[in-house]
């Protein structure tokens, strides 16, 4: 009986510890990447819009499809090297997007950067590199943490030197190096970008802390 009484407190501590893996809302050093009003600081030919709540979402135009329309990706004008990127995202059923980092050439983001996948793979038992939380063509997440379509998810991605760590909804799912996942040729500096798959996707609370 004593164990049963202690169980709720133990579960609460586990939950708090998981949330601690994400930076606090007032964590020092973070700055927003979107200003909540327009797309200042970003470049794209895609139909990315700032919503009334300050989130940024993709509204695909009629006839748009596929993922190779690289100029339709939304990318930072500034280049980033070592950083912690914290953000929330939401997709519809069968949704697909991706967070690209250190992209040297936005005409070739897949070859000159690397992507943490966003995909509707809720319920998948053993996610691979192309499933949500994985580094595409690199490594899968240790655990499937994606929520059902329509719910907000959170990534905290730390890129420092050649190290890449991904915390996904309170769980660290990736701790690797670019060399270990056969991406040793990727640069140490580049754009941050979100993929246009011609499918609805929402991003909010996108902020970054540059590491010195």
Q: Is 65 exposed, middle or buried (0-12, 13-18, 19+ CB in 10 A)?
A: exposed
Which pairs with CB-CB distance under 8 Å and at least 24 residues apart come from 185-188? 186/102, 186/112, 186/113, 186/114, 187/102, 187/104, 187/112, 187/113, 188/81, 188/82, 188/102, 188/161, 188/162
pLDDT in tens, 30-87: 999 999 999 999 999 999 999 999 999 999 999 999 999 999 999 999 999 999 999 9
What are residue 119's DSSP bridge partners? 96
The pTM of the full predicted model, rounded to 2 decimals, is 0.90
CA distance 57 to 80: 22
| Residue 212: pLDDT band with limits 50, 70, 90 | confident
pLDDT at residue 181 above 80? Answer: yes
* Strand, coil or helix: 75: strand
- DSSP conformational letter for 70: G
Residues 188, 102 contacting (CB under 8 angstroms): yes
For 105-128, the DSSP string reads -TTSHHHHSEEEEEE--TT-SS--
pLDDT at residue 6 above 90? Answer: no
The pLDDT assigned to 8 comes to 53
pLDDT in tens, 121-176: 999 999 999 999 999 999 999 999 999 999 999 999 999 999 999 999 999 999 99
User: Which CATH fold topology does 2-210 show?
Assistant: Jelly Rolls (2.60.120)
Domain residue spans of the chain: 2-210
The token pair at 77 is: 């004008």
pLDDT in tens, 80-117: 999 999 999 999 999 999 999 999 999 999 999 999 99
For 125-173, the DSSP string reads SS--TTSTTSBTTTB--SS--PPPTTS-EEEEEEEETTEEEEEETTEEE
pLDDT at residue 11 above 50? Answer: no
CA distance 10 to 198: 43
CA distance 192 to 101: 5
């Amino acid at each position: 009986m004593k164990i049963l009484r202690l169980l709720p407190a133990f579960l609460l501590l586990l939950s708090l510890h998981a949330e601690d893996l994400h930076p606090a809302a007032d964590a020092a050093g973070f700055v927003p990447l979107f200003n909540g009003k327009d797309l200042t600081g970003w470049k794209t030919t895609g139909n990315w819009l700032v919503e009334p709540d300050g989130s940024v979402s993709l509204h695909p135009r009629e006839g748009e499809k596929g993922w190779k329309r690289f100029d339709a990706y939304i990318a930072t004008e500034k280049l980033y090297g070592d950083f912690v990127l914290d953000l929330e995202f939401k997709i519809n059923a069968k949704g697909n997007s991706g967070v690209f980092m250190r992209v040297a050439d936005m005409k070739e983001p897949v070859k000159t950067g690397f992507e943490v996948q966003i995909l509707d793979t809720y319920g998948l038992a053993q996610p691979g590199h192309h499933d949500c939380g994985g580094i595409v063509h690199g490594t899968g997440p240790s655990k499937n943490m994606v929520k059902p379509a329509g719910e907000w998810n959170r990534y905290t991605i730390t890129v420092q030197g050649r190290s890449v760590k991904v915390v996904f909804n309170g769980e660290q799912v990736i701790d690797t190096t670019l060399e270990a996942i056969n991406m040793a040729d990727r640069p140490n500096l580049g754009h941050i970008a979100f993929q246009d798959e011609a499918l609805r996707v929402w991003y909010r609370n996108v902020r970054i802390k540059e590491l010195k």
